[in-house]
Chains A and B, each alone.
Chain A
Amino acid sequence: MLGSAGSAVVGATVLAGCGLFGQDDDDPKTADPLQPVLDEALALVAAYDRAVVSQPGLTPRLTPLAADHRAHATELAKLIGGKLPSAGASAPASNASDAVGTVAELRKAEQTAQKNAAAACKQAPAARAALIGSIAACRATHAEALK
């Protein structure tokens, strides 16, 4: 029993090791724990962009919120060491936020994103805690601003 569990762990380690050399940084095994927070920031940017296109009257209200998420994405990419998708490139696909359109839906997406960032903050090493904490707090202020 113990022996088979042990070999399974070894097998997984070997596979992960292959991933380091054979694949790019998108491999979930090697991805930074903050990658989902960055992905969510980009998904929110895209969601706000879509909302502004479909409801131009909301532009003054939504543009500053989208700018906050862009600032988060920039800082997170710097921290993780990755590159941001160039302007105009679509945010990571298959995200729940893809369907976001109305203010109520944006608010719900912000609340979910806040919870995810708060969870990431709790797990983060000390050097990252303040940045992720601010991002979580900012997402909460967005939910308030969309009330």
Chain B
Amino acid sequence: MQRVNEQLAAALAAEEAAIYAYGPIGVKLTGTGERTEARAAEQAHRNRRDTLVSKLAQLKASAAPAPAGYELPFAVTDRASALKLAVQVEDGVAQAWRVVLPVTTGTDRSNALSALTDSAVRATRWRRLAEVTPVTMPFPGRP
């Protein structure tokens, strides 16, 4: 149980970081299509975050307190750096959910797999927009 709590808390931290990152990402993206995509991604991460908060409350686990301020791994100054960060954020979320798989079963594991899969698919979409090849990786979420 302890491990589940830890992994879910780590997933929560990754989702929070993603929500934070999509702010500056959205500002620097160009074109309504890309911005819509970023907004949809941010909303998806908010939904996952909310579900995780309820789940952790249900498990009576104390989620790690949210850090006072997030720091981006690098400055988002243009479209290229925005796309790069979007890929990095989704890869990070995928990693956080992958380690939830072995410590859960049944519906909880299916939910974790959905989260991993959604992040991997978004990362592929961002790679395609950034014209990064290959657009896929063989084992999404593997560090």
Contact = CB atoms under 8 A, between A and B. Distances in A.
* Chain A partners chain B: yes
Given A64-B133, A126-B102, A127-B102, A72 B120 contact: no
B133 A137 contact: no
The interface size bin for chain B is 20 to 34
Contact of A122 (B99, B106, B121, B139): B106
A67 interface: yes
Interface string A37-74: 00000000000000000000000000011011001100
B49 to A, nearest CB: 20
Nearest to A128: B102
Contacts of B116: 133-134, 137
Nearest to B109: A122
Contacts of B110: 118, 122
Contacts of B120: 137-138, 140-141
A145 B129 CA distance: 11
Contact of B121 (A121, A129, A140): A140
Interface string B77-115: 000000000000000001000110111001001101100
Contacts of B94: 137
Interface residues of A, number: 27
A145 B136 contact: yes
B103 A138 contact: no
Nearest to B142: A134
B101 A138 contact: no
Given A68-B136, A121-B109, A122-B106, A133 B101 contact: yes
Contacts of B117: 114, 118, 136-137, 140
B13 to A, nearest CB: 19
B101 A141 contact: no
Contact of A121 (B101, B123, B124, B133): B101
Contacts of A107: none
A121 B113 contact: yes
Task: For the complex of A and B, list the 4 residue pairs with the smallest distance between their C-beta atoms, beginning with the closest.
Answer: A64-B134, A71-B138, A129-B101, A134-B139
